[in-house]
């Protein structure tokens, strides 16, 4: 499974990527903002998107809307990783159809649990 990790913070991308590798996911592509992520999806593809919300150029909500509108990637699992933790923000993210949401800072175990939960729901949905 190939992950696309999108965050304007290089440090945060490294944390997420290292966590993914630790829990057994070695294939990872990274992008610094939503526009970069769109280009990477179109050129390299991915199976799972982990995106920050607050980014320049194109934020995570806009990226999620684009992914959901794209025929090829419309059903891709999406995990929003953000500092925005109030109820209204979570609701707004769910409205654009992220599969799950985790607030920074998070633990490696917390990230793994969110990914596992998303994969369970994606795997059990009828095709």
Domain boundaries, the chain: 3-116
The whole-number pLDDT of residue 52 equals: 96
Q: What angle do CA 82, 76, 102 make, to 5 degrees?
A: 20
- Side-chain half-sphere exposure of 8, counting CA atoms within 13 A: 13
- C-alpha 17/C-alpha 3 separation (Å) is 9
- C-alpha 23/C-alpha 44 separation (Å) is 22
The whole-number pLDDT of residue 68 equals: 97
Return mean pLDDT, the chain.
Answer: 93
pLDDT at 57 over 60: yes
User: What pLDDT, in 10s, does the model give residues 87-127?
Assistant: 999 999 999 999 999 999 999 999 999 999 999 988 765 54
What percent of the chain clears pLDDT 90, i.e. is strictly above it? 91
CATH topology of domain 3-116: Rossmann fold (3.40.50)
């Amino acid at each position: 499974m190939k992950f696309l990790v999108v965050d304007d913070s290089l440090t945060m991308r490294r944390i997420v990527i290292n966590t993914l590798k630790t829990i057994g996911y070695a294939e990872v592509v990274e992008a610094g903002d939503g526009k970069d992520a769109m280009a990477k999806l179109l050129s390299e593809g991915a199976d799972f998107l982990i995106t920050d919300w607050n980014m320049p150029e194109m934020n995570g909500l806009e990226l999620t809307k684009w992914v959901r509108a794209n025929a090829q990637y419309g059903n891709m699992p999406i995990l929003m990783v953000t500092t925005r933790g109030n109820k209204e923000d979570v609701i707004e993210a769910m409205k654009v159809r992220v599969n799950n949401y985790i607030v920074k800072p998070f633990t490696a175990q917390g990230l793994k649990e969110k990914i596992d939960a998303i994969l369970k729901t994606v795997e059990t949905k009828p095709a």
